Structures are given as C-alpha cells and as structure tokens.
Chains A and B, each alone.
Chain A
Amino acid sequence: MAVKTIISRPIYGTLSPQPGKHHLFIADAEGALAIIDMAGKAPSGFFDGAEIDFIPGPEGKHIAALEALEPAQLHLPPSFASLLPRLRQTLTNAHMGLRIYLAGTEGLIGQAMQVALEAGIDHTSMQTEHRGSLARRMQCVHCKGITENVTTQPALCSHCGLLLLVRDHYSRRLAAFQGVCINAEDRSEIPPMEEAFP
C-alpha cells in the first residue's frame, strides 16, 4: 500500500553551521553523526556557545565523539519526555539569535520542532537532518491517540486497536503522520502488515 509522497510530508536537509553565537542542538541516536559531520565544516570556537541535548539510546553510542566537540553544555537525557521541561525552559528564555539544529529520527525532529513552534520559533528557521530509523509517529484520526515508532504498513493503533493506513499527510503541530482505518469499508479485509519504515 505505498502512498506516493505529498507536500505536507516534511523535507529534511543537512545541518550546516549558521552564523551567530548561540546554538542549540537536539539529537537522538544516529543524529549525533549529523552533528559530528557538521562540526568538520564549523569555524573554530563554534561550539563554545553551543548546547547539545543528546538522547543516546540503549547502546550509549556517540557520546565520546560529542564530548570531543567540547560544547559549552552536553546534556544526555534518557528520553524525549525527560528532556521536555528543560527544553521548554531553554526555548522560553532563548536569545533572539539562538540557532536550532535538529538531527536524528523523524519522531525526535518532529517533537522538538513542535516545542519550538509553541515557543514562537518559525519552522523554516530551524536546521534539520534525518538520520537513522524511518519509524513514524502516528496519530490515529479516530481516537486521537499517538503511536510511537511505527515501522509497518498498515499499523495497529496502540490505543483503540484499529488497523490504520499510515498516510504521508503530516502535521507539524501534532508532530505526527495521520493514521486512517484501512479496512473501514469491510472489516473482513485484512491487508498484510509489511515493514515499511525500518
């Protein structure tokens, strides 16, 4: 059930060092590699005014490499939920000139952007780079529950249990793709679940 890509689907770029003194990086898992690759292009002293919030994942990879960049602050929260209060605070008190860089899984980029948007930062002013898993955050349009790390097409809603088509239609406000019942017209039709977003 491949659905061809559409305009609301976010497009990610490659991190590049922006002018300015204050830089905030939010990354998870393989996203660390995007920061490290970018560091090669950054002027010396770039990380003196940088905070890196990195959610390492279970294997704890890439921490040493980020330490080697000698950022002003390196914060290693265990999950996005645990980063949230601090992130809100940082963004609320942010300097006008704060530059934001998001790297890693789509779920991480989307959720961090959601918090930044709520703080009044324009989405086009943020740098993003997708690395690692293609797993999606999905909102069930029926029960409104969010299912994290969706890798299959179709996918089960973890809240109401409906079998959902994971669409490409994406909401920045919800930081989620839309899931719509795939067999609403005839519940006896059960399309096979395939690995679609590894």
Chain B
Amino acid sequence: MGITFRKETFRDDYTFRNSPEHIRRFPFPFNEDAYMYAVNIEPHVVGPKGSVLENLIDVDEHYVAEMQDRALVLAEDPLRCQSLPHMTLAGWDLLELLMEQQALGYPEHFTLERNGDRWRWINRPLGIDDTFTFGDTSTLPYGPMEYITRQSQGDFCILDQRDGNLWMDAGMVTTQADWSLDFDIGMNFFEWHAPVPLAHEKGIFTRALKFLTNIQQGKPARRLNWTMTINPRLDTSPENYHKWGPDRATVTPDNVGQKVHLRVELQSFWRLPRSNGIVFPIRCYLINMDELVTQPKWARRLHRVIRDLPEELATYKGLTRYRPTLVEWLSKLDDGSPTSSGFGPD
C-alpha cells in the first residue's frame, strides 16, 4: 500500500505535522527521567514493525517535503554539500548503500536494477528514473553523494579513516542542529566535537572514537541524540541563526504546544566497503509538544528531564530563553506518578 506522503513545509507557514501513527512511532530518546551524555551506542539492527527501526534506513510520510526543503537550502547555499577530492569513491559507496536499503525497505517506492556496472534507479515519490554507470560520475547529474542524498532523508557525513582518527571530509548537511559543515569539513573527530560541553572531560569521545574506528562492514551501529527547536524548522544551521534565532524569543504559555518541538536524531554508523570510510546518517525527527503529550508517559518524563537538565547542556542546546515557560507548561501534565522504564509509550 505504501506511504502517503504529506504536503507540508518546514519554513514560512510551517505546515509540518505528524499523523497519529507517526506520533506513536516517534523515537522518544529518554529511557529514564534524567539525561546526561553517555557512550550510548548499540548495534543498528532491525526493530519492531511500525517503529522507525523497521528498516535500517527509514523513509516516512515527510520524505517528499523534506527533499523539497533540502533543494531549497542547497539553492540558497551550495556550501551545505561538500566533498573533498579524495572522497568520490566513498560517495559511490554511499549511493550503493542508500539505493539498496531504500529499495529493500520500500519496494513500492524505490527500485534498483543492476546489470554489471549499468544501474537503473527508480524513485517514484520524486519522479526519478535514471540509468547510469556505477563509478562514472559523468553519467549522473551530480556527484554520487549529492545525487543520492538529495533523495534520502537526514543529513550525511562521510568520514575518512586515517591515523587512527576519523576526518569529516564530505557531507550533505541541511537539517542540522546548529553546526556548520563548511566550517568543520576537514576536521578530525575531536576537533569537530570541540564545542560540546562536559563530554570530553568524561572521556566519552575517546571511547566513542575507539568504537567507531573498529566498526565492521555489515555491522552498523546507532545512537540517539536530541535537542529542541522552535517551529518545525529543519534548517537550524548556524549560517541562518540570525534568521531562526528570534523564534526562541516567541515562546509563550499559550503557544508552547504548537511552537516547541523535540528534535531527535537517529544517528547510525556504517563501514563503507570500497573506501573503508564510515558514513554517519543523522536522521532528524520532529514532534511538537501537543503531539508529544498525547502519550502521558512521555509528557511526565520530558517534564522531569527538561526541569533537571544540567545548565551546561541547556545552554549548549540553546534552551535557556524558553526553558522556564516550557517546564511550567509541562509541569501541569506531570502528576508525579512513576514512569515505566524504556523509551516507548505505555
């Protein structure tokens, strides 16, 4: 039967909403009533039907609208997609991975036909039917990374592995939580994480890097990260911070439910076969407070997490200005009763 893709926007009139099924499948990132950074990495294996883990590369009802938003961002700012010269092979690796996974998970929407190096890719939601030669960039309208990530939800960083470190040498980054690919490209794992508070001191990045550099092909891993965004805006880039920053000052007790969104990133890590690089898809999920609190357990838990969040994290995530208003609003939905462990709604 396939997915019914919503017609919606992530800017201007902000018509983005989640359907009831998508609210229930939202990847709520808190499995207890408090939050602190940790090395929260686990194998990226298929999860329950109807969850965002039903397929390892998730395509959902927002697919078409997200791809339209990405095209708008790229037209304004082509620097959101960059690839250093040695990264083309890794781009082909990524193209293969995303075509295979999307065709596997959603055969009614995507088809990949391979005849030696001659490949045919059909993307029905976006009306694409292209035949090209795998490995020959001149047969595609864009470089391989840009071509496939214009057709895949989420941001993508491709990391080159050398000298025991990972180097951010390519990426498509249009839906980011306030960091700049153009600034960070060419940096190593510790350098691009430099602005993150507390985690360096806790040794989190040293352990995480060790894990990532040992990732094996065919054994991807994943973790969740989260922040909050005012209005369902995908492009919360530092480049445009002077445009979306003012939204943070518009939160009032009356509009919290519609304006404040929990933004969750399902991040996964995949070894690439030819280049030996790693690809890091950052799949972003948005949910507004009215939608989120339809699950009473999530409302109670989010209240406690935001209320008790360490100041450094709140500042880093940019919550400072509206945190009191949000906590006050959420507190009315928290009767103090215990919440069950685990992420899912009750």
Asked if A98 is at the interface of the complex by the 8 Å CB criterion, the answer is no
Partner of B238, one of A8, A141, A171, A185: A141
Tell me whether chain A's interface is mostly helix, strand or loop, or mixed. loop
Q: Are A178 and B241 in contact (CB under 8 A)?
A: no
> Could you tell me the distance in whole angstroms from the C-beta of A4 to the nearest C-beta in chain B?
9
Per-residue CB contact flags for chain B residues 218-257 toward chain A (1 = under 8 Å, else 0) read 0000000000000000000011111001101100000000
- Interface positions of B from 304 to 346, Cβ below 8 Å from A: 321
Q: Are B242 and A169 in contact (CB under 8 A)?
A: no
Interface residues on B, range: 20 to 34
**What are 11 of the A-B contact pairs (CB < 8 Å)?**
A7-B194, A9-B194, A141-B180, A142-B240, A162-B242, A169-B195, A171-B186, A172-B186, A178-B180, A181-B241, A184-B241
Q: Are B182 and A144 in contact (CB under 8 A)?
A: yes
Per-residue CB contact flags for chain A residues 163-198 toward chain B (1 = under 8 Å, else 0) read 000011101111000101100111100000000000
- Interface positions of B from 162 to 216, Cβ below 8 Å from A: 180, 182-187, 190-195, 200
Q: Assuming the A-B contacts A181-B241, A186-B246, are A173 and B186 also in contact, with contact meaning beta carbons closer than 8 angstroms in the complex?
A: yes
Q: Assuming the A-B contacts A171-B186, A178-B183, are A184 and B246 also in contact, with contact meaning beta carbons closer than 8 angstroms in the complex?
A: yes
A162 to B242, CA, bound (A): 9
Chain A's closest residue to B322 (CB) is: A185
User: Which residues on the A side are within 8 Å of B248 (C-beta)?
Assistant: 185
Q: Report how many residues on chain A are interfacial, defined by Cβ distance under 8 Å.
A: 23
Q: Are B241 and A142 in contact (CB under 8 A)?
A: yes
Partner of A8, one of B79, B185, B187, B242: B187
Chain A's closest residue to B191 (CB) is: A8
Q: Are B193 and A169 in contact (CB under 8 A)?
A: no
Question: Which interface residue of A172, A173, A174 has the most chain B CB atoms within 10 A?
Answer: A173
A197 to B180, CA, bound (A): 24
> Could you tell me the distance in whole angstroms from the C-beta of B5 to the nearest C-beta in chain A?
33
Chain B's closest residue to A167 (CB) is: B195
Per-residue CB contact flags for chain A residues 122-154 toward chain B (1 = under 8 Å, else 0) read 000000000000000001011010000000000
A131 to B184, CA, bound (A): 27
Question: Which interface residue of B183, B238, B248 has the most chain A CB atoms within 10 A?
Answer: B183
Q: Are A169 and B183 in contact (CB under 8 A)?
A: yes
Q: Are A8 and B180 in contact (CB under 8 A)?
A: no
Q: Are B245 and A173 in contact (CB under 8 A)?
A: no
A141 to B248, CA, bound (A): 19
* Further pairs besides A7-B193, A142-B242, A180-B241: 13, Cβ < 8 Å: A8-B195, A9-B194, A139-B183, A141-B238, A142-B241, A169-B194, A169-B195, A171-B183, A173-B186, A178-B238, A184-B245, A185-B245, A186-B246
